[in-house]
Amino acid sequence: MANSLNTIEINEIMSLLPHRYPFLLIDRVTDHVLNKSISAYKNITINEPCFTGHFPQQPIFPGVLILEAMAQAAGILGFKTMGNNDQLYLYAGIDKARFKYPVVPGDRLDIEIQLIKERRGIWKFSGVAKVGNKDVCVADFMCAMRDL
């Protein structure tokens, strides 16, 4: 499979984000436009350690991890835009978060993030996570870049 210029594979994702298994929640970036938007996905498998004890009879991917995956995608966009990963990219706030449908093993979580604005190291985003054509989570959130 040819790698498009806007696709980011897992090895580059790992060079941008400090997260590692089991909390590296982006499998691939499918498209990105610097200082504007990013699209990525995560395959949800039954092997995810977070499923241990979380609704054992009907595993549901935790909503907080959907929000974290959205922030990680936004972090990749921030690092690619700034060209500097000598900083931490931290959640600064979450607004208007809504969970619309459960996400279960076997689903592919598609994430679309739009940069609303950036000012003095604070980035504001609008994001949606989808499974198929269904929006499963929508949220506006802010991230801040801080020195290590």
How many Cα atoms occupy the beta-carbon half-sphere of 78 within 13 Å? Answer: 29
Reply yes or no on whether 54 is catalytic. Answer: yes
Closest CA to 12 of 48, 22, 1, 24: 24
Which one of the listed residues 24, 27, 31, 54 is annotated catalytic? 54
Count, residues in the chain: 148
d(Cα 28, Cα 72) in Å, to the nearest integer? 11
Which sequence positions are flagged as catalytic? 54
